[in-house]
Amino acid sequence: MLNKIKNASLAAAMALSMTVLTAGQAQAAAPIINDLMAKGDMPSLAPMLKKVLPGVVNISVKGKKDVQGFSLPDEFRFMFPGMGDAFGPSQPRQQEFRALGSGVIIDAAQGLVVTNNHVIDSADEIKVQLSDGREFDAKLVGKDAHTDLALLKLKEFKNLTQIDLADSDSLEVGDFAVAIGNPYGLGQTVTSGIVSALGRTGLNIENIENFIQTDAAINSGNSGGALINLNGQLIGINTAIMAPSGGNIGIGFAIPANMVKTVTEQLLKFGEVKRGLLGVSGTELNADLAQSFGYNQSTGAFVNEVMKGSGADKAGIKSGDIITAVNGKKVTSFAQLRAEIATMREGSEVNITVFRDGSYKDFTVKIGKNTEESEVAATNSKSISPAFEGASFANAKDGGVEVTDVAKGSVAQRFGLRKGDVITAVNRAEIKTISDLKKNLENVKGKISAIRINRNGGTLFITIR
């Protein structure tokens, strides 16, 4: 069984458009290529690839996963009156699985390999095969489901080749990119393209998203493989494709090298990622919201609410602020802000630039501890469900998910959510935390779902699709 690279299909939410060169543009480009070929100046990737190919590995795993048994749908239960729970959900059973993926050696001296979490998730046995055919057993050092990264350590090894990490913050759209992986289990394969976009968010692939987009062909089995620059440095870990038809259409996504570096350093040290907390809830900035606050740009992160006693609160950040930069780096969306903060350690200090009352102000914020109890409306509401876009959430004290804010005119407001609502169930499945809510909505994606809400002491239901 092949472990398929994640499908980031957004066909239900957006229409894909294609751009083609005009005849004039094509004619202008052709002489440049022809001249280079005539002079023998067309570059070859071969010298660089000879150095880096040994650093990309094939990963095979096997293990057991819980699978749900047969359950009779509610609409057919009337045919079997008096049967009680005889046709209720059966107990999960374990089923063996095998999967394939890719990985990158990032430390030859320690035998460390980075890959995607979804490649090794639930694996009991992990084997790593090098490009020269050598195979080693590997153990899991740590994994982080929020960024879909995992760190492995080879049990016995020698003569390894590592790929050094580039500074992914220095990437620009148009830079060349080369993808290396193990598509469909065929073996090591190289494709090339460019960096198509940076800072992609809102794809609902992971909790924390800040992807590099590339048109280098990425297919099933490429998960965990390398995206490198022409210097042979790692710029990203391939993780997902947009595939409305199930195959590659030239839209792939990679986790930036700087995020890989931060996460793997923590996995090596702690076995997990200890995330920091800024202490704000917010939403994506739209044109109407920006205009109402006198802000003449369309990028930034709008602050709905500041958690009392948090680092942001102590520093002086307020509701209604528009966060425009973190440590001098431009913030284009709330999802990007969340990704930036999520890689910072508790106790570290960060410079936050905000737009307030017609001017920009800088604040130094001490990052707090991010616990399950303080899971924030820094949660990307759209990543939970498109129907919840514009709402902010926090784990309720007595269980459930509290709606801490709803933006006026937002999708969430149109579906009926109000500030103070507590979501307690999705289609009869009890909800205790934000993680429960996201998981249950992912299981019914594309279907009509009934959301049970406690509001002002009473219970009501709203439906979303």
How far apart CA 28 and CA 11 sit, in angstroms, is 34
Q: Residue 207 has what DSSP assignment?
A: S
Four-residue CA torsion sign, 319, 321, 326, 330:
positive
Please state, in angstroms and rounded to a whole number, the distance separating the CA atoms of residues 116 and 122. 13
Helix, strand, coil percentages for the chain (3-state, nearest 5): 20, 35, 45
Classify strands 391-395 and 401-406 as parallel, antiparallel or unpaired.
antiparallel
Between the two ends of the chain, the Cα-to-Cα distance in Å is 32
**Catalytic residue IDs:** 118, 148, 223
DSSP annotation of 165 reads: B
User: Three-state SS for 16?
Assistant: coil
The alpha carbon torsion through 284, 10, 421, 333 (nearest 10 deg) reads -10
Contacts of 52 (CB under 8 A, 6+ apart): 161, 163, 180, 226, 228, 232
Using CA atoms of 280, 283, 288, 290 in order, give the dihedral in degrees to the nearest 10: 40
For residue 440, the tally of other CB atoms under 10 A from its CB is 18
Report how far residue 408's alpha carbon sits from residue 430's, in angstroms, rounded to the nearest whole number: 28
Q: Where are the beta strands (DSSP E) in 38-185?
A: 56-67, 93-107, 112-115, 123-129, 135-144, 149-154, 176-181
| CA pair distance 118, 398, nearest whole angstrom | 32
